[in-house]
Amino acid sequence: MKLIVGLGNPGEKYKNNRHNVGWMVIDAITKIQNLKLKSQNYNSKLKSEIFRSGDVVLAKPTTFMNDSGRAVQALTRWFKVKPDDLYVIHDDLDISLGGYKIQKGKGPELHYGVQSVDRELGTKDYWRVRVGVDNRDPENRISGERYTLEDFTEEEKKILDGVIEEIVVDLARV
């Protein structure tokens, strides 16, 4: 069994934020596979919205980003998923908008959501789908914390949509 978890923040005001790119990828997968969210798809014990497709579980933790580890730990225990079969999708300011990397045990310099997952799992040895979101002006760089909580612009969203399509194809191969 594979567990694919998209990190993000709950609530309408965060829906289009750069920090919610993990949820956006999960939404794209569920749309392609025609998986519908029903009330029973939310599991309060696992603190996540859950979708199943064969031997793949897709999850969107409903904890806030910096507390994502609690939900990921609960999911891995419940579904008995080993780190080799865990994929965590998150935004990454170390990668420019339009890029992404799927790497095991490697992540951004600083990402509190990923740090929370590492801490709760007691390991960094799982797959990360690092989605580039950095499109800041090099001459006028705002802080990463503020930037990731801003919405994508319409122009950025077009670039992101293409990247998400590539990620979905790559994840279908794992």
The one catalytic residue among 18, 19, 128, 130: 19
How far apart are the C-alpha atoms of 109 and 80, rounded to whole Å?
Answer: 29
Sign of the dihedral defined by the CA atoms of residues 93, 97, 102, 103, in that order: negative
90 is catalytic: no
Q: Rounded distance, CA 136 to CA 115, Å?
A: 23
The three-state (H, E, C) secondary structure of 13-37, written as one string: HHCCEHHHHHHHHHHHHHHHCCCCC
Neighbours of 142 (CB within 10 A): 10
Active site residue ranges:
19
